[in-house]
Amino acid sequence: MAHRIAFLGFVALAVCASLSSAADPANLQDFCVADASGNTRMNGMACKNPAMVQASDFAFSGLHIPGNTSNAVGSRVTPVAVTQIPGLNTLGISMVRIDYAPWGINSLHTHPRATEILTVIEGSLEVGFVTSNPENRHITKILKKGDVFVFPVGLIHYQRNIGYGNAVAIAALSSQNPGVITIANTVFGSQPDISTDLLAKAFQVDKGVVWQLQAKF
């Protein structure tokens, strides 16, 4: 009997341990407004004293203002993440406004920490993402005003304005700090440079092509 009780106790402990490790992390308070002046290093940002929290910690103004698309790619992303709204800290959500000049692009990039759901507000966009190796399947669609599209976390994706007028989209992301890795900038604009020999072999091009691309970024 004693052995049976000990065994059942061990099983109960194992079940409790598995449940606790499987549970999603959750806030242990109403909010954790980011304290930008805090020196504590952690996964996220340190919390401001709740007594010091103001309504402005949860608000952002200006998303109605068009972004300046006078640049090489013809687009501008206006982020609303934890840097802009400290109250987003630990809440796992953020958003962006994206403005596109005619035929402008939001070039190939990934969000390492977030899935993105995009809604077209004005204009028409060609959107797409590429699945992981070995399939590398290109999934693409033309979106019009009011259409919605999802880009799964971590996958390379893009948008392109296919109209002759400006286009606007709003996207929500499943992280307070989704991060962005722009492929061309990362590969050809790293500091210090990635070896020209390595890039030439990886992309199967001459070194001269790599030098030209690195000079642009």
Q: Which residues are annotated binding-site positions?
A: 106, 109, 111, 116, 157
Q: What is d(CA 158, CA 163) in angstroms, rounded to the nearest whole number?
A: 16
- The helix, strand and coil proportions of the chain, stated in percent and rounded to the nearest 5, come to 25, 25, 45
* CA torsion through residues 14, 19, 25, 29, sign: negative
Binding residues for Mn(2+): 109, 111, 116, 157
Cα–Cα distance, 138 to 164 (Å, whole number): 25
Alpha carbon 40 to chain centroid, angstroms: 24
| Cα separation values, 133 from 138, 155, 185, 200, 205, Å | 11, 11, 22, 21, 21
Annotated binding site for oxalate: 106, 111, 116
Helix (H) or strand (E) holding 18: helix 2-22
Q: Are strands 138-143 and 167-173 parallel, antiparallel or unpaired?
A: unpaired
